[in-house]
Amino acid sequence: MVYKILFVDTIDLLSDFENRYFPLWPGYLIAGLKKFDPDQSYEFGYVKTLSVPIIKNFKPDVVVISSVSQNFERAKQFAKLAKESDIFVIIGGIHISFLPTTLTEHMDVGIIGEGEKTFSELINILSRTDIYSKNVIKNIKGICYYEQGQLIITDKQEILKDSEIPHPFRMLVGSRKHDYIFSSRGCPFKCVFCSTCRYWGSTRWLSPEFIIEEIYELMKNDVKIISFYDDLFIGNKPRLKEIADLIDQKGINKKIQFTCSARANLIDDETIGYLKKMNVVAVGLGLESGNQRILRYLKGENIGVEDNKKAVCLLHNANIQVNASFIIGSPDETIEEMLDTYNFIKNNKLSFTEIFLLVPFPGTPIWDLAKDRGLVSDNINWDVLNSNFEKNMKSAIILSTKLTRKEIIKIYKKFRRLRFYKAIIALPKSPLKIDALQMIIFFLNRFRKNTKLFYAKNIDDDSISDRAAL
């Protein structure tokens, strides 16, 4: 019997940013099924939004939803819709993993943390069991569900060894000219606002050979730029050297441009040498603040504004584009301290910059702080965690004790003007112009393409197509 799995995203259909890349979570879960439960036949669908016509058309056995916190309201809505058609609902991703208590009555099972193993154990049972009962799933680690009104959370699932992490199955959704790849899971640093470094458990660095295999896979699809979306790509220097050597030996650097993430105090001449060898054309830094006290508060003791300045300089001099993100609105940050950040952006050779308001993501010390102050709970409307301040100026949680919402909006707009000005100057020379083109295409297509159902028949099928435009 063929088992039909419908993967459902919860992204904002109107946000160009959230739609810029195809997601990899369905690809990793499918790869997990192939690895841990290879004998079953499946049909897969992927949609960015769930609707009744999609359910009727695809007729899934199970609806599988992923959600970050700010999109959890949509996740709840989709779970309800699927349940109304009497379909089994699984939810996973970072939100439910940190806050299993937010599982709703319409979600049958929540999967906590890394998904591949737990998901395949659950699907293994569901796809072979005619009558579902809670008894059959209670021995699976890393899940949560309700039993007689009580939330059950089973023991923690072991994380995968680095050698067990599979290549994602990319055929379901396809690829783009600027695509992305993961070469590690986790991050050894613990920035106070970051949930992901607390999510993946210990950092696992995938082998250089494994990464090259995946790059070749993307090259088959005519990719031109590959971004390493790791939390910290350059965190392991010996491995970085090996990756650079292999990319160079195989001549991949003649065909592909790369971008990656980095941490300022790990940038030195040696690292830059490896990045150049690989043909890295842009680096993203979380510089966070131009003020020493705030920077230490956000990122810890071992980094300073001088490290940030030096990293920007070294990268710029090596002709690598430097993009950076910053956070304003720390609890006791003064306006003068925010202006230090403004001046840092103004006076340093940065191309594209992002300004975020400090958001209390579940799982972080900032969440705990906001909870202690009564600003968040398990029952909030999750839209308020939207990290795009542009979209929720009126409802975002303000952690500042020094500035009012009005004052924060005013200074944010000042940053926004600077950001815009920098971007206009950077764009013509930027290797990431390709994103601007994608943004325009997205804008023109945003209503039509977003309801498409992507379809794959079984794991090895590479003739995947958008089966239906509903």
With tokens 């209390």, the residue in question is 360
Site for ligand B12 contains 95 (CB under 6 A): yes
* Residue 388: CB minimum distance to ligand B12, A: 4
Residues 22 and 450: beta-carbon distance below 8 Å? no
**Pick 24 or 464: Cβ nearer ligand B12:** 24
Distance CA 287, CA 308 (A): 6
Of positions 30, 33, 54, 64, contacts ligand B12 by CB under 6 A: 64
Binding mask 337-376 for ligand B12 (x = CB under 6 A): ------------------------xx--------------
Residues 75 and 65: beta-carbon distance below 8 Å? yes
Site for ligand B12 in 383-402 (CB under 6 A): 387-388
Distance CA 305, CA 292 (A): 6
Q: Which among 60-68, 138-146, 274-282, 443-451 is the span making contact with ligand B12, rule CB under 6 A?
A: 60-68
Helix (H, G, I), strand (E, B) or coil at 260: strand
Site for ligand B12 contains 210 (CB under 6 A): no
Distance CA 278, CA 253 (A): 6
Distance CA 217, CA 172 (A): 14
Site for ligand B12 contains 169 (CB under 6 A): no
Q: Which among 108-116, 210-218, 236-244, 437-445 is the span making contact with ligand B12, rule CB under 6 A?
A: 108-116
Of positions 70, 203, 321, 348, contacts ligand B12 by CB under 6 A: 70
**Pick 253 or 388: Cβ nearer ligand B12:** 388
Phi, psi dihedral angles at 229 (to 5 degrees): -90, 15
Site for ligand B12 contains 194 (CB under 6 A): yes
Site for ligand B12 contains 115 (CB under 6 A): yes
**Pick 17 or 216: Cβ nearer ligand B12:** 17
**Pick 425 or 436: Cβ nearer ligand B12:** 436
* Residue 30: CB minimum distance to ligand B12, A: 10
**Pick 64 or 320: Cβ nearer ligand B12:** 64
Distance CA 384, CA 347 (A): 33
Binding mask 215-234 for ligand B12 (x = CB under 6 A): --------------x-x---
* Residue 270: CB minimum distance to ligand B12, A: 25
* Residue 115: CB minimum distance to ligand B12, A: 2
* Residue 223: CB minimum distance to ligand B12, A: 15
Distance CA 244, CA 264 (A): 19
Number of residues written out for the chain? 470
Of positions 13, 25, 342, 393, contacts ligand B12 by CB under 6 A: 25
Distance CA 118, CA 434 (A): 37
Distance CA 300, CA 425 (A): 33
With tokens 């990045």, the residue in question is 275
Q: Which among 41-49, 68-76, 99-107, 435-443 is the span making contact with ligand B12, rule CB under 6 A?
A: 68-76
Strand-pairing partners, residue 4, are 43
Q: In which region does residue 174 sit, left (phi positive, over 0), alpha (psi from -120 to 50) or beta (all else)?
A: left
Site for ligand B12 contains 93 (CB under 6 A): yes
With tokens 């600077």, the residue in question is 418
Distance CA 82, CA 88 (A): 8
Of positions 196, 292, 325, 392, contacts ligand B12 by CB under 6 A: 196
Size of the site for ligand B12 (CB under 6 A): 39
Distance CA 79, CA 107 (A): 6
**Pick 317 or 395: Cβ nearer ligand B12:** 395
Strand-pairing partners, residue 178, are 225
Angle (CA) 231 222 263, round 5°: 15
Of positions 43, 108, 116, 121, contacts ligand B12 by CB under 6 A: 116
Angle between helices 305-317 and 269-278 (to 10 degrees): 40
Q: Which among 62-70, 237-245, 288-296, 415-423 is the span making contact with ligand B12, rule CB under 6 A?
A: 62-70
Q: Is 381 exposed, middle or buried (0-12, 13-18, 19+ CB in 10 A)?
A: exposed
**Pick 264 or 335: Cβ nearer ligand B12:** 264
Site for ligand B12 contains 92 (CB under 6 A): yes
* DSSP-assigned states of every residue in 292-336: HHHHHHHH-TT--HHHHHHHHHHHHHTT-EEEEEEEE--TT--HH
**Pick 88 or 342: Cβ nearer ligand B12:** 88
Pull the structure tokens for residue 47: 């949609």
* Residue 50: CB minimum distance to ligand B12, A: 13
Q: Which residues bind ligand B12 (CB under 6 A)?
A: 10-11, 17-18, 20-21, 23-25, 28-29, 64-66, 68-71, 90-95, 111, 114-116, 119, 182, 194-196, 229, 231, 361-362, 387-388
